[in-house]
Amino acid sequence: MAQYEKLRDYGEELLRSNPGSTVRIDVEPLCNPSSPTRQFRRMYVCLGALKQGFKLAGRPLLGLDGCFLKGPFPGQLLMAVGVDANNGIYPVAYAVVEAETMSSWTWFLKLLGQDFDIDANSYFCFISDRQKGLIPAVSKVFPRCEHRFCLRHIHENMKPRWKGELYKNLLWNCAAATTIQAFEKGMNTIKDEDKALHDWLKEIPAKNWCRAYFSGLAKCDILLNNICEVFNSQLIQGRDKPIITSLEFIREYLMKKHVVVQKLIAKCQGPLTPTATKVFEKIKSDAVHYSVIWTGGSKYQVTTHFNDHQDQRIVNVDDRSCSCRGWDVTGMPCRHAVACIWNMGLHGRGDGVPERWVDRAYWLQTWKDVYACLIDPINGMDMWPKSACPTTLVAPKYHAQVGRPKKKRKKSVVEIDELKGKKKPLEAEVEKLSEQIPTTGKMPRKGNSLTCKLCKEKGHNKRTCRNKPGVGQSQQSEHVP
């Protein structure tokens, strides 16, 4: 309760210690403007180092998500998470709001636009779980942006009617297609299998969930909003704390994360980041099976004879594009483009090094530059500057949580099925035994062999043992004449 009174001072300390940061506090509208207090409504934080680092990353994509706060006061935590050069998470902004509504998302998105120079006519890419109020808010604030829907949540909506690996694989084949022809072929396969599922998917615009319709500005082809899920999982221990303690938990996590990544960067060598290097090595291993024909200009015909010219594509090295659209969407040369680059090197039209053609968003140097933007520490509460605002913040209306506060996120049906498939043999055996335990709570004796603790023989226990001291003598005395 008392931390809300210090919230404006906390914001002033963030601005002092981290230049370039943005801190906004919004209050509930009051009928009496002369009141000396204001009820807290929302707070937005974007640290200057994160703002600068995201602009250096060169990947205009942000995942949007929200999660509940577990404390006594109502509210939700909104977050915006980007992707760094190593395909890791890069959180850039977070906000505490009253609820996940169109109004709160619109407020959050407008502040994001001011921090990252995104206006109504700018191009940008967002990915989300289709939360309530988020889709109309994105369309209202950024009407020209690309809004991707998390494929996992589309699959979750399918589960009540279409269960099983078959439908899951059909959905993924369509979403992973990088050309419109491949997407339409996948949709026709779904139509042949189940027309109702085909009609259901047609209601979701393909531009929101299929790679064939993604543009290449984001330099990222992700279909899942896992970047927000990962960030959310790191904040579980801080979501049930008082508001300043919770906000400090987030800031300290981000500060420590930068140190961990810097240590990893210090061990890396080469032109690309470790994850990009691993992905590109697979692409190069596939490129050796292709033959190249030069047209005399900037275009090449690339063919493999393994599937009767089905995988024949056109590569334009000047535009850095391929008709398979792999290079266009990710910014990383596809297997067709790598074959062209090698052919150019053999004929003196370049050095033949494919890594030089990878977008700078994957460079090791870009990764270093991003995490060179450091988050500075702050002083204790007794050294915070006093806010000049004449009114005092008070807490929102108290809301007693029902039951014991939950620490773990509720898992979906898909996650439960995946966890069951990954059980170790010992865990599976323990579960099998637990299913045999009756409702009384007693362990079953069926299939078990008893061992006597006195004579160490099997088949009986010490209570019925005939070899314990005194039993043999008494029985023997009865037969003495």
Contact in structure between 254 and 272 (CB atoms under 8 Å):
no
pLDDT for position 411: 63
More confident residue, 2 or 20: 20
Supply the pTM of this predicted model: 0.82
Q: Tens digit of pLDDT for each residue in 310-340?
A: 789 999 999 999 999 999 999 999 999 999 9
> Would the pLDDT of 477 be above 60?
no
How far is 25 from 95, CA to CA, in rounded Å? 10
How far is 171 from 128, CA to CA, in rounded Å? 18
How far is 56 from 84, CA to CA, in rounded Å? 10
Q: Tokens standing for 326? A: 């792999």
In terms of Cα–Cα distance, which of 354, 345, 327, 350 is closest to 271?
Answer: 354
Q: Tokens standing for 295? A: 């047209």
pLDDT for position 133: 87
Domain boundaries, the chain: 2-150+224-263+369-394, 274-358
In terms of Cα–Cα distance, which of 331, 330, 332, 349 is closest to 340?
Answer: 349
> Would the pLDDT of 435 be above 70?
no
Mean pLDDT of the chain: 87
Q: Tens digit of pLDDT for each residue in 190-228?
A: 999 999 999 999 999 999 999 999 988 899 999 999 999
pLDDT for position 425: 52
Q: Tens digit of pLDDT for each residue in 101-151?
A: 999 999 999 999 999 999 888 889 999 998 878 999 999 999 999 999 999
Q: How far is C-alpha 480 from the geometric centre of its chain's CA atoms? A: 85
Helix (H, G, I), strand (E, B) or coil at 81: strand
Contact in structure between 367 and 90 (CB atoms under 8 Å):
no
In terms of Cα–Cα distance, which of 270, 246, 252 is closest to 96?
Answer: 246
- Please classify residue 107 by burial: count the beta carbons closer than 10 Å to its beta carbon, then call 0-12 exposed, 13-18 middle and 19+ buried: buried
Return the minimum-mean-pLDDT range out of 109-123, 228-242, 290-304, 464-478.
464-478
With a CB cutoff of 8 Å and minimum separation 6, the contacts of 479 are none
Q: Tokens standing for 481? A: 């004449």
Helix (H, G, I), strand (E, B) or coil at 168: helix
Return the minimum-mean-pLDDT range out of 137-146, 424-433, 459-468.
424-433
Contact in structure between 336 and 246 (CB atoms under 8 Å):
no
